[in-house]
Amino acid sequence: MERPFYSKIITWILVGLLVLSVCLLVWGFAVDFSDAAVNVLLGWAYTILGLAIAAVVLVGLYVMAKNNPKSLIKIVYVVAGVGAVCLVAYLLASGAPAIGYTGTKLPTASELKLTDTMLNLTYFLGVGAIVAIVAGEIIMSLRGKKA
């Protein structure tokens, strides 16, 4: 049985990405991983990671929409919730200057605000994980189920 046409296209795209990745890696070794080479390699790694995440999300959305179209509403609620949490973390971020920083280049106000936002998100996720574990155990014990 012959493979579908789109399967052949995807295979050739993957081969092309692999060849380009190997060429960039060889180039990085050839220039002894100078600053420019490291920047290019990191940019390529971020690009490939972004493509992979986008592919997984888009394929997941396609399968979900095909199997159960009403479940897409739940995704909208989840994305809105994540956006709300990120907004709260951003609004709570102070962006205060780094105390005791002795580097040559001081971070900008927007960099400090972004760093504080990420720290707040980390705190929220950590507390959320702990609450989920404790609440899950309490609910399981009340229902009489054992793990």
Distance CA 96, CA 66 (A): 48
Number of domains, the chain: 2
> Do both 106 and 123 map to the same domain?
yes
Per-residue model confidence (pLDDT) at position 146: 62
Asked whether residue 132 carries a pLDDT value surpassing 80, the answer given is yes
Greater confidence, 86 or 66?
86
Domain limit, last residue, from 34, 53, 68: 68
Domain limit, last residue, from 17, 49, 68: 68
Per-residue model confidence (pLDDT) at position 97: 86
> Do both 107 and 129 map to the same domain?
yes
Query: CA distances (Å), 23 to each of 18, 34, 44, 117, in order?
Result: 9, 16, 12, 37
> Do both 78 and 104 map to the same domain?
yes
Query: CA distances (Å), 84 to each of 81, 88, 132, in order?
Result: 5, 6, 19
> Do both 24 and 6 map to the same domain?
yes
Give me the helices (H) in the chain, please.
5-30, 35-67, 71-92, 109-143
Lowest-pLDDT choice from 83-87, 134-138, 142-146: 142-146
Q: Which residues lie below 8 Å from residue 98, measured CB to CB, with a gap of 6+? A: 106, 107, 112
> Do both 61 and 88 map to the same domain?
no
Q: What tokens appear for 111 in the block?
A: 């960099």
Q: Which domain holds residue 36?
A: 1-68
> Do both 106 and 119 map to the same domain?
yes
| Locus of tokens 């280049």 | 105
> Do both 82 and 147 map to the same domain?
yes
Helix (H, G, I), strand (E, B) or coil at 96: coil
Per-residue model confidence (pLDDT) at position 145: 66
